[in-house]
Structure 1
Amino acid sequence: MEEESEFRHWDELIPDALGLIFRNLPLQEVLTVVPRVCKAWNRAVNGPYCWQEIDIELWSNRRHEPHHLDRMLQTLITRSSGSLRKLAVTGLQNDSIFSFIAQHAGSLRMLRVPRSDLSDSVVEEVAEKLSTLTFLDLSYCCKLGSPAIEAIGKHCKSLVEFCRNMHPLDVASVSSHDDEAYAIANSMPKLKRLEMAYLRVSTEGVLKILSSCPSLEFLELRGCWDVQLDSKFFKEKFPNLKVLGPRVVGFYEMMNDWEDCSDYFSDGSEYLAWEFLDGEMGEFYEDEIDFGFEGAFYAERLNSDFEPYLWPPSP
């Protein structure tokens, strides 16, 4: 009798609870193992309960054929049935899949699509459908510019976090990104966090952002060599603002200085209230994954968020 009372009827859990549990499992297991356990689990996996938050960024980092990535997104987003709140994916290869995402973005609040081959025109076309966003990451999207940013700012009135980091090699031939800085300033007044590492912005462009975004709490400027920060001015004018950059810290220097996070001065540049984000620096994955979607899928060995710390330090 005691043994029977301790038996847990996992198949009797409501779908919402099962969805919360399955979100903690690897994507491979959710798609291939869980549905075969029992009918209740199969219904949960094929319903919206597991797919309100979709994070396939590590998997998509492995440059798959575009139609493999598109098919995965279409499958998972369709299962969310309009309840999708978070989507993280990298390397979208065409405008059509971004349009598909926007068509199902009625509840979407967080969107990460770095390294995607998107055009200004598609972002302008679908920005209105992304109006519920509070977080957007368009880092390393080299074809996008100020028109896309203005469209996002115009329609996404609740946006408080925006990431627009670039790789130094991608901006080597760009003379200025001030048009993007002004687009941010003119259309995103509620921003609390802004990342724009390696954008070719001027001091004037940064000051325009600061004067137009009074709620800004964190500003990433690593690699923005044209920006000159006056530490005294910033401390007096923006006492609650945390600034990272423009100087870039090399990986080993960063590790050596990890415990010393005091204000840092160098050539007129300063880390104001030096801070690093919470969370792991990187995760390693060993398993090779095959979901049966016409090809082998792989999990990325190194979290893409770790990449900036492998860039060269300031010259």
Structure 2
Amino acid sequence: MNSMDQRKWEELEMDCLVEVFKWIGMESLLLCVPLVCKSWYKATLDPKCWQILVFPEIRCSEHFPGPMIKHFVHSYGLWWHDFPSMSFAKFVVSRSHRSATTLVLPGTCSSQALEYISDECPELKFLGLSLDLLYHNGPVLENLISKWKNLQVLSVGNCYMLNEIFAQIRLHCKKFVGVICCYSWIGYEEASAIASLPKIKYLSFRKAHCHLNNLLMILESCRELELLELRDCGGFDCDDEIRRLASHIQTFRCDRSNTSKEDDDYHYFAGEEQARLVYNNFLNM
């Protein structure tokens, strides 16, 4: 094939471009792709490119944010502690035209931005919440659950206020089927909250810490599980009792889980990278 016969990326049909761009992430959609050419810019304006909204995480610690975050903040006139600002949240979420199905929020998201986002994402199916966001805005989030009638899966970086949030899910989210609690501590109260959702089908505790009795409580209550992810967990050994209770589960993963795991490994939610990991796991369920 000579060079004259080769198709160029910018000449791809709009539907093909949109199908690719909807998976590349918020930073590329805002800072890279629109600058390539006019057809790519036009494709990024399609609402289908904004159905998966994974906001980047900014952690104000001893480490400075990387180049991508600095570019975000500089480009949109934000302060570190104010990301995402109300204006930035509106700019991004409005592009979905109320069609967003996936939302992963950073710990720095303000209560005002949360209120706006909840109103503009009525079709939400997957919600990812970081440790810091739950800690600082748990009561606000509790009151917003009723707006997400189609919510199916909740991913949390910490189990703070899980009882209160699940109480709202039981009332308002009749399609709810999955819980992801990676890098979390699953105590008695948290296990009781999960056990209060006996109809769930997907449960992931990867790299979490859960004592045996708490895990058994969940398995005895949630009899409709189709996927159970317990890989790299601490607090229990995957013994015969667990395997017996999980024998009916179609997909059961319990590799490298044992009581010798260090507790300190189970309290950190790794921001956007971890959010993408658990979301990809959900897609493969």
Counterpart among 101, 104, 107 of residue 85 in structure 1: 101
Counterpart secondary structure, 2:123: coil
Counterpart secondary structure, 1:193: strand
Structure 1 residue 187: deviation in Å? 3.1
Counterpart secondary structure, 2:103: strand
1:140 paired residue number = 158
Larger Rg: 1
Q: Write out aligned runs for 1:57-96 (5 A).
A: 59-63=56-60, 65-70=80-85, 71-96=87-112
Counterpart secondary structure, 2:17: helix
Distance 1:61 1:75 in 2: 18
1:161 paired residue number = 178
Identify unmatched segments of 5+ residues in structure 1: 169-175, 251-298, 308-315
Total equivalences in the alignment = 240
2:53 paired residue number = 54
Q: Write out aligned runs for 1:174-213 (5 A).
A: 177-195=187-205, 197-198=208-209, 203=213, 205-213=214-222
Identify unmatched segments of 5+ residues in structure 2: 61-78, 263-270, 278-285
Structure 1 residue 79: deviation in Å? 0.6
Query: 1:248/1:114 Cα in 2 relative to 1: closer, same or farther (>3 Å)?
Result: farther
Q: What is the identity, as a one-letter code, of the residue corresponding to 1:193? A: L
Distance 1:206 1:12 in 2: 50
Q: What is the identity, as a one-letter code, of the residue corresponding to 2:168? A: A
Distance 2:246 2:24 in 1: 43
Once the two structures are superposed, what CA deviation does each residue of 1:194-250 show, in whole Å capped at 9, x if it has no partner? 428235x671x4333222211223153934x4x6x6833333343145364452547
Q: Percent identity?
A: 21
The answer on whether the counterparts of 2:104 and 2:127 sit within 8 Å (CA) in structure 1 is: yes
Distance 1:139 1:153 in 2: 20
Structure 1 residue 51: deviation in Å? 1.0
Distance 2:260 2:170 in 1: 28
The answer on whether the counterparts of 2:82 and 2:108 sit within 8 Å (CA) in structure 1 is: no
Distance 1:33 1:93 in 2: 24
Distance 1:218 1:90 in 2: 26
Distance 2:202 2:276 in 1: 22
Once the two structures are superposed, what CA deviation does each residue of 1:64-105 show, in whole Å capped at 9, x if it has no partner? 724232344332211111111222333244333333332222
Once the two structures are superposed, what CA deviation does each residue of 1:286-311 show, in whole Å capped at 9, x if it has no partner? xxxxxxxxxxxxx98xx44799xxxx
Structure 1 residue 131: deviation in Å? 2.3
Q: What is the identity, as a one-letter code, of the residue corresponding to 1:88? A: V
The answer on whether the counterparts of 1:185 and 1:209 sit within 8 Å (CA) in structure 2 is: yes
Does residue 247 of the first structure (1) align with residue 256 of the second (2)?
no
2:265 paired residue number = none
Counterpart secondary structure, 2:154: strand
Query: 1:248/1:220 Cα in 2 relative to 1: closer, same or farther (>3 Å)?
Result: farther
Counterpart secondary structure, 2:53: strand
Query: 1:47/1:198 Cα in 2 relative to 1: closer, same or farther (>3 Å)?
Result: same
Distance 2:212 2:238 in 1: 14
Structure 1 residue 137: deviation in Å? 0.9
The answer on whether the counterparts of 2:159 and 2:190 sit within 8 Å (CA) in structure 1 is: no
The answer on whether the counterparts of 2:29 and 2:44 sit within 8 Å (CA) in structure 1 is: yes
Does residue 220 of the first structure (1) align with residue 217 of the second (2)?
no
Distance 1:4 1:243 in 2: 51
Q: Write out aligned runs for 1:11-22 (5 A).
A: 11=11, 13-14=13-14, 16-22=15-21
Query: 1:95/1:164 Cα in 2 relative to 1: closer, same or farther (>3 Å)?
Result: farther
Counterpart among 127, 134, 154 of residue 145 in structure 2: 127
Query: 1:30/1:230 Cα in 2 relative to 1: closer, same or farther (>3 Å)?
Result: closer
The answer on whether the counterparts of 1:145 and 1:180 sit within 8 Å (CA) in structure 2 is: yes
